[in-house]
Amino acid sequence: MRPHVHLPLTRLLVMIPFTFLLGCAKKVASRQDVQSDLIQSISLASEAETFTSYIRQGHSTYYFASGHLHYLLNEVNRTTQELSKTNPSPDLRNALNIDGVQLKLLAAQIERINRNLQHADVLADSEQQIREVRMTLVQANSSL
């Protein structure tokens, strides 16, 4: 009986890495997946915009502002990284590219805000830039 036990086991041993590789391969993203990515990016941009306005009103403490922006930046970078692993169908590629570019712009603005927490003029300018990022993302989402 031993060979009967070995055969499926060998097959299994061969199949496991294959299955693993298939699982790791880039999955084709559906319209819903891309929409979900855009919704997440809009959320991040909107949060950055709201929080910048809050800092400008002098309502945040220095450490909270700095810490929260740091976490927000990590989240934006993580989302950008996840996005780069997405493999969309050709008709969705443009929306995904817009998403990636806007997230990079958002990350740059968050870094800029964190370096200039005391400078009201820089904060106002960054808030405006982030608003534009958000509007672009909203537009990309509604065009899907």
The smaller minimum CB distance to other proteins, of residues 75 and 111, is found at 75
User: What amino acid occupies position 88?
Assistant: P
Neighbours of 80 (CB within 10 A): 18
d(CA 106, CA 110): 6
Q: Choose one: 5-13, 41-49, 95-103, 120-128; the region binding other proteins (CB under 8 A).
A: 41-49
Q: How many residues bind other proteins (CB under 8 A)?
A: 24
Query: Residue holding tokens 């009967």?
Result: 4
d(CA 135, CA 132): 5
Pick one of 29, 34, 51, 102: the residue that binds other proteins (CB under 8 A).
51
- Residue 86 binding other proteins, by CB under 8 A: no
41: left (phi over 0), alpha (psi -120 to 50) or beta: alpha
Q: Choose one: 10-18, 34-42, 114-122, 124-132; the region binding other proteins (CB under 8 A).
A: 34-42
- Residue 41 binding other proteins, by CB under 8 A: no
The smaller minimum CB distance to other proteins, of residues 126 and 134, is found at 134
